[in-house]
């Protein structure tokens, strides 16, 4: 698997996990879990964009 594709797949996975954690944290009133989910979602978005940049750059 190309490095750009791997980054995009992992980024989407982290976004999904982050969204689940964020939603779960909101549902049970756990601010730490909610914050952890938001952070993981953001990291996933960054990794997804890294994959886009690598794809454009041909790496």
In order, the DSSP letters of 9-59 are HHHHHHHHHHHHHHHHHHHHT-HHHHHHHHHHHHHHHHHHHHHHHHHHHT-
Higher pLDDT, 27 or 57: 27
pLDDT at 57: 83
Q: What is the pLDDT of residues 20-49, one digit of tens each?
A: 999 999 999 999 999 999 999 999 999 999
On the question of pLDDT at 55 being above 80, the answer is yes
pLDDT at 59: 57
Region 7-22: mean pLDDT is 97
Q: What is the pTM of this model?
A: 0.86
């Amino acid at each position: 698997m190309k490095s750009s594709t791997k980054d995009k797949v992992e980024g989407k996975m982290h976004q999904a996990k982050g969204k689940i954690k964020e939603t779960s944290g909101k549902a049970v009133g756990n601010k730490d879990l909610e914050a952890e989910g938001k952070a993981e979602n953001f990291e996933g978005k960054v990794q997804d964009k890294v994959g886009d940049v690598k794809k454009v750059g041909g790496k």
